[in-house]
């Protein structure tokens, strides 16, 4: 591929170039170089500003996500605590249900609910600890016969 050649050659060593033209050419080169430096600097500043804005947006989104995560963790902990309490209550109710509907424990439940005693059982009465002539020890159980 052939590249286009400039209309005038930039420099011939045998040709004499006046001082004015040299300084004029070098000053235009300096202006072009300074413009290029300004463009690069401006491009770099714009990239930094855009990157800073992106960083701020990312940090704010991260803070929102972290606060949401903390709220969810707190709510999960509350739900787990409520679940544990409910499971304990359910176990107690299930034990009571099994006890109340067990045919073998019908007499025991009847005794607990109505304070009636089974005729085959004997009652025990605790006496207060008062000194007496008999040799009873304090808080001794006495068996009472059925009337």
Give pTM, 2 decimals: 0.43
Q: Per residue in 13-68, pLDDT tens?
A: 555 555 554 444 556 767 777 888 889 999 999 999 999 999 999 999 999 999 99
Question: Is the CA virtual torsion 109, 110, 116, 118 positive or negative?
Answer: negative
Give alpha helix (H) positions in the chain: 19-100, 106-114
| Residue 79 and residue 73 in contact, taking contact as beta carbons nearer than 8 Å | no
Distance between CA atoms of residues 66 and 72, nearest Å: 10
% of the chain beyond a pLDDT of 70: 68
Q: What is the mean pLDDT of the chain?
A: 78
**Secondary structure letter of residue 17 according to DSSP:** -
Token pair for 120: 């085959």
- Where do we find the tokens 């070098």? 26
């Amino acid at each position: 591929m052939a590249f286009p050649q400039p209309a005038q050659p930039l420099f011939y060593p045998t040709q004499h170039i006046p001082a004015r033209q040299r300084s004029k050419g070098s000053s235009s080169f300096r202006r072009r170089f300074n413009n290029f430096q300004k463009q690069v600097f401006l491009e770099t500043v714009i990239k930094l500003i855009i990157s800073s804005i992106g960083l701020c947006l990312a940090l704010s989104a991260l803070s929102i996500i972290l606060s949401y995560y903390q709220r969810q963790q707190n709510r999960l902990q509350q739900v787990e605590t409520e679940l544990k309490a409910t499971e304990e209550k359910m176990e107690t109710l299930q034990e009571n249900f099994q006890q109340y509907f067990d045919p073998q424990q019908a007499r025991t439940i009847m005794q607990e609910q109505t304070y009636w005693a089974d005729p085959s059982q004997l009652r025990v009465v605790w006496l207060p600890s008062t000194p007496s002539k008999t040799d009873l020890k304090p808080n001794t159980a006495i068996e009472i016969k059925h009337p």
